[in-house]
Structure 1
Amino acid sequence: MTDLVTTQIEDGVITIQLNRGDKKNALTGEMYHAICDGLDQLENDPALRVALIKGTEDCFTAGNDLVDFLNSSSIGGDSPVARFLRTLPNLTKPLVAAVNGPAVGVGTTMLMHCDLVYAAPGSKFQMPFANLGLCPEAGSSLLIPQLVGYRRAAELLMLCELFDAHTAKEMGFVSEVIEEDYQAYALEKAKKLARQPPASMRITKQLLRQGNQEQLKAVMAAEEKYFSEMLEAPEAKEAFNAFLEKRKPDFTQFS
């Protein structure tokens, strides 16, 4: 366990908090494992009915810690990211998210696997995979076109455009934009879910998602393959080096 991810249990809800605010909650392998440990606890403990995932008050997550991520060189196999991406679509109990500030990369795509998402007005969403010479992950190449249509998904995943909380609500990424204490509001909604009949919640979630399950599994396997290959390719190396060197990447050399 790491103190960069904390858990708290209250009224049948396990709250998993990203607690690396000085680094905008950028995710490391150790943090991915800690999140999964919390989600496994949810699944295995009958007294737990719902998980709430949140960041610090003003930041959800800036996505992967790039230095740590480059050292792992994969989102497949037994990597921490792979464990996280396998865990999300296989959850049988409800997952709620509370979002503010940056929700970048996996910080946005993980929301596709949440049942309820509540965002503060200052939330900013972005999926910059193409900017980094990579491709979508977490099943987002399937789930986002289903949510918003092909052309809008192409803008989000090819141009990597930033969008705000109200646009996210209009597109269906979030349930509500909360002006007041968004984390307290999300926790109350999670507690309300926890008071519902547990079998009803599990079966309802299963039925809502069953039409996608086999296709999602195939899409995520393809994303994993391409993403891992592209992570080692010259375009990604140029993108990451440019980011670390604080310069604009030059992709004119590639065809």
Structure 2
Amino acid sequence: MTHEPVLLCEDRDGVRTLTLNRPQRKNAIDAELWAALADALRDTASDRSVRALVITGAGGAFCSGADISVPDNSHPIYRMRALTDVAILLHEIPQPAVAKVTGVAVGAGWNLALGCDLVVATPESTFAQIFTKRGLSMDLGGSWLLPRLVGLQQAKRLTLLAETIDAEEAWDLGLVTWVVAADDIDEFTTDLGARLAAGPPVALAQTKALLDDGADATLREALAAEARAQGLNFATADAPEAFAAFAERREPRFTGRWTVRRPPIGTGHESENGR
């Protein structure tokens, strides 16, 4: 009997879609799926053909959290390391990431969605920081993400009481970017992925990093980081392409191509080792 992959990966027109594929468990994440997610995120980060990432779940659910039904006798520090790897990799990938949430997003599953840059849900989607009902505290970056998104008091309410909220309340709190009818979410997310994939990859990556890091930076630190980022952007073909497209009244074609040339050998600018 062939083992069904626990994580499906599809690449189309610059958009990679990762689908959690344990529908019989509402896509609860076991050790195999944690490892597969980490591997897929590492590959995504280094694959320049991938311009945007979508994470979703199979069978009408996003993710019901970590699978605590499977016995695991390994030391908790090793089990938690698997979660930590995924959280950091998701946070640090340069591509914009979209969570496409249908059905439940619970515990680590909800924090997986919050770790993405944008979240699309349906009116039927539900969310819960369920940890305390399981005798646990939050993980997968929830203690870092939630206060930054909703403030400390609302973060405490959501986690201490472990209430289930619907998509409308999640949207009101700023935890969901869009709420889209279930019949329309596939088309909406496909269009969103295409728009992100068509954007300037270097500028998008720099913008994402500036926003993620800016919450912990002083104004001077943020301004210095912005200046460094603009230097990188102006060294690509995308800024001139955007200016030309504006003048020619057409859509720009962004590539992220580096345009700074190395000095030719023999000019006296190379180092002693020839590099």
Task: Please classify the TM superposition score into its range, dividing by the shorter chain length.
Answer: 0.7 to 0.9
8 A Cα contact 1:29 1:81, kept in partner: no
List aligned pairs for 1:21-170, cutoff 5 A: 21-68=23-70, 70-74=72-76, 79-170=81-172
> Offset of 1:117 from its aligned partner?
0.8
Cα distance in 1, alignment partners of residues 65 and 186 from structure 2: 19
Deviation per residue, 1:81-115 (Å, 9 max, x gap): 23212212222211111001110101111222211
> Offset of 1:69 from its aligned partner?
6.8
Name the counterpart of 2:247.
Answer: none
Cα distance in 2, alignment partners of residues 10 and 26 from structure 1: 26
Q: Indicate the structure (1 or 2) with the bigger Cα radius of gyration.
A: 2
Name the counterpart of 2:185.
Answer: 182
**How many matched pairs?**
214
Is 2:207 the counterpart of 1:204? yes
Cα distance in 2, alignment partners of residues 5 and 78 from structure 1: 20
Higher relative contact order (CA 8 A, sep 6+): 1
Return the structure number with greater helix share: 1
> Offset of 1:57 from its aligned partner?
4.5
The gaps in structure 2 that reach 5 residues or longer are: 218-275
Aligned-pair identity (%): 34
The gaps in structure 1 that reach 5 residues or longer are: 215-255
Distance 1:192 1:78, change over 3 A: same
Cα distance in 2, alignment partners of residues 77 and 19 from structure 1: 20
| TM-score (norm: length of structure 2) | 0.72
Correspondent of 2:174 among 172, 177, 183: 172
Correspondent of 2:194 among 187, 191, 194: 191
Could you say what the CA RMSD is over the residues aligned between the two structures, in angstroms?
Answer: 2.1
Distance 1:187 1:72, change over 3 A: farther
Q: 3-state DSSP class of the match of 2:85?
A: helix
Letter in 2 for 1:97: A
Q: Which moved more, 1:179-188 or 1:105-114?
A: 179-188
Letter in 1 for 2:147: P
